[in-house]
Amino acid sequence: MKSFLLKAWKTFARPSVHISLGVLTLGGFLAGIIFWGGFNTALEATNTEEFCVGCHADNIAPEYAGTIHDKNRSGVRATCPDCHVPHDWTSKISRKIQASKEVFAHFAGFIDTPEKFEERRITLAQHEWDRFSANKSLECRNCHDYDGMDFTKMSPTARIQMKQAKERDQSCLDCHKGIAHHLPENMDSSGGMISELEQLASNTKYEKDENYTSVRHLPIYEDKALSVEAGLLNPASSVKVVAESGDVMQVEIAGWRKDKGYGRVIQEDFGMNIAVASLLKESAQNDAVVDKFEIKEDDLTGLPWQRVNVKVWMKKDAMLANVQPIWDKAKQSYQTNCSVCHTQPAEDHFDANTWPGMFNGMMAFVNFDTDSKALVLKYLQKHSSDFSDNKH
């Protein structure tokens, strides 16, 4: 073995005796052409939709199918590698080598079933979001160039957003996450706000004649046994405890409602659409539950409003004696979620009745659960120009 290697080395190191310089150079040159051609062919072969779908047929291909990048009126498509493999050569090679880790994770059994994949989806998605965030969504912008956008052809809402995004040279994925994939399950962009508040609320001591504020939607009942449902109390709604017994209490919800239809929604104050509770039809018409007082007409809408006092029973659960932690969390959530796409308007830029329309129009862009949504909306309404000292 040693003598073989020695002989081989002698042949390598010495000028060739029998093969001419021309043949050697030509041979090396041709082999080089064939090698580089083969290398690029292999590289291209691993950069096709077919290659990706070869493994991702069950978990990724179905959710991509039918999205705007798969099927559209002009037939121009962006397939897996167009977005997920950098086009620049160095970054591309580096990404290809990185993929060895993903192949390893599959064959070593760390992520080898669709269930395990779903479990890890948020982590894996975060890797891609970090990458897109660092290169300002370069792979999107290889096609979608800000300079090539004709803003006059956009709908007014899109125009406002896209112009601002261009001014700030913003990364597309800041707003357009999940454009070609399912978002990770339970992706909670409120950052677990409600559960944090609930934990805080577990220390609350409930006493008669004190006021408490709910941290999420809470069921309310007509009777002490909690057997007849009356409706739902909204998040961030204050009630006064009038009686308590064991782990239940009777509370008083004071507010106004439109004296029209069934009068199911109790609002916080006259003429303001800040929902405190929504009652079931039967409870809304039950005089034992709802105490009625004076009627006033709202000049703006011409609708008569009536002051009411609703007495219902509920569990001693998920309420805080001090409302401030709720506003703090809601403010944080408002600032982080909304500033991702645009500078959010000041809370007191709109009045309490304008906020719901503005807010609901934006709900398609964030992942709020119903509790977080209602909580943040109420925060905005309660800090709107109607409650602010420096009115617009």
Partner 1 sequence: MSSVTNNGDGETRSREWKAFLFITVFLFPILSVMFVGGYGFIIWMLQVFLLGPPGHGG
The footprint of partner 1 (CB under 8 A) covers 7-8, 11-12, 16-19, 24, 27-28, 31, 35, 39, 86, 88, 90-91, 93-98, 130-131, 133-136, 138
Phi/psi of residue 171, each to 5°? Answer: -75, 130
**Shortest distance, position 38 Cβ to partner 1, whole Å:** 8
Report angle CA 193, 195, 199 to the nearest 5 degrees.
120
**Shortest distance, position 318 Cβ to partner 1, whole Å:** 41
Indicate the residue among 81 and 263 with the shorter CB distance to partner 1.
Answer: 81
**Shortest distance, position 125 Cβ to partner 1, whole Å:** 14
Radius of gyration of the chain measured on its C-alpha atoms: 32
End-to-end CA distance of the chain, in Å? 91
Strand bridging mode 218-221 / 229-233: antiparallel
Indicate the residue among 12 and 107 with the shorter CB distance to partner 1.
Answer: 12
Indicate the residue among 83 and 218 with the shorter CB distance to partner 1.
Answer: 83
**Shortest distance, position 11 Cβ to partner 1, whole Å:** 5
**Shortest distance, position 366 Cβ to partner 1, whole Å:** 24
- Which has the closest alpha carbon to 165: 219, 227, 154? 154
Indicate the residue among 141 and 296 with the shorter CB distance to partner 1.
Answer: 141
- H-run or E-run covering 330: helix 324-339
Report residue 227 CA to chain centroid gap: 36
Indicate the residue among 11 and 339 with the shorter CB distance to partner 1.
Answer: 11
**Shortest distance, position 319 Cβ to partner 1, whole Å:** 44
Indicate the residue among 93 and 295 with the shorter CB distance to partner 1.
Answer: 93
Phi/psi of residue 387, each to 5°? Answer: -115, 0
- Which has the closest alpha carbon to 339: 322, 313, 361, 362? 362
Residue 279 to residue 59: CA distance in whole angstroms: 43
Quote the tokens at residue 192.
């677990």
